[in-house]
Amino acid sequence: MKRILPIVIVALFAAMFCAGTYVDAKEAVTAGGTNVNSSAAAMALVDGDTGELIYSKNCDARREPASTTKICTAITVIENQTILDVPMPIPDEAVGVEGSSLYLQKGEMLTVRDLLYGLMLQSGNDCAVALAIIVGGSVDGFVRMMNETAAKAGAENTHFANPHGLHHEDHYTTARDLCAISYYAMKNELFREIVSTKRHTTPYHNHNYQRNFPNKNKILFNYEGGNGIKTGYTRHSGRCLVSSATRNGKTYICTVLNCGDMFEECMRLMDCAFMRR
């Protein structure tokens, strides 16, 4: 009996830590997952093997996704571009794009594969524009393809207006939809390879050295089994993160939107998911 009691106490504390409190029973059922307390304005956690919604908070509220938009950008490129390793000229429109950047230069040549790594590891907005024009012919044409990809992934409350996630009044998604898009994207081997890469090097035009950039996603470095996916931030969206981890053959995907402690919160929620098995 003395040995059983501490185990029970630990289990109770773990349950309190993970589950939080129900906001409303009806809302929890409607959300399709256990509605939990979270420091995020909106969040969703899904089973990475089945897509089942496990935890949620305001998961259907429309919010700006910032650079987590690039999850859909990347998988749209991968599914529609077969030439990945032939250097291509960087479109003029991709030079000098505001925000996070790989500082692409006019006349520079890069492969689509390298641009994808720049997009997902360094969150290059210039990479997003370059890929959009290379694959879609124009930014507007590519954005239409992105929205088709989102719909195919099961996102029902999402509309993208650009390939990078900079503020736009008609650019929105939900925590549930971002999980759906990420669940869909993670089925692709190349996508998984890119988002789980901690560092990538690529030639630097007119320089005698290479670009060497690390992944900004701390989940890969600080969380056991971490294997993705994408960070994001703008003044309008707040800090956003879609994370993924696999342990003992089991994967969970977690999205937090407008969450100051986004890494810690994703790790806490994924811990809870792994403990429930």
Q: Which of 100, 123, 182, 244 is catalytic?
A: 123
In the chain, what are the helix, strand and coil shares in percent, each to the nearest 5? 40, 20, 40
In this structure, how many other beta carbons lie within 10 angstroms of the beta carbon of residue 93?
14
Question: Is residue 48 within 8 Å of 253, Cβ to Cβ?
Answer: yes
Tell me, what DSSP letter sits at residue 91? P
At 141, list the tokens. 């044409």
Q: Which of 38, 67, 100, 196 is catalytic?
A: 67
Q: Which of 57, 70, 230, 244 is catalytic?
A: 70
Question: 101 catalytic, yes or no?
Answer: no
Cα 62 to Cα 102: distance, rounded to the nearest angstrom: 29
- C-alpha closest to that of 139 among 111, 171, 113: 171
Question: 70 catalytic, yes or no?
Answer: yes
Phi, psi of 138 (to 5 degrees): -160, 165
- C-alpha closest to that of 112 among 139, 141, 134: 134
- Active site (catalytic) residues: 67, 70, 123
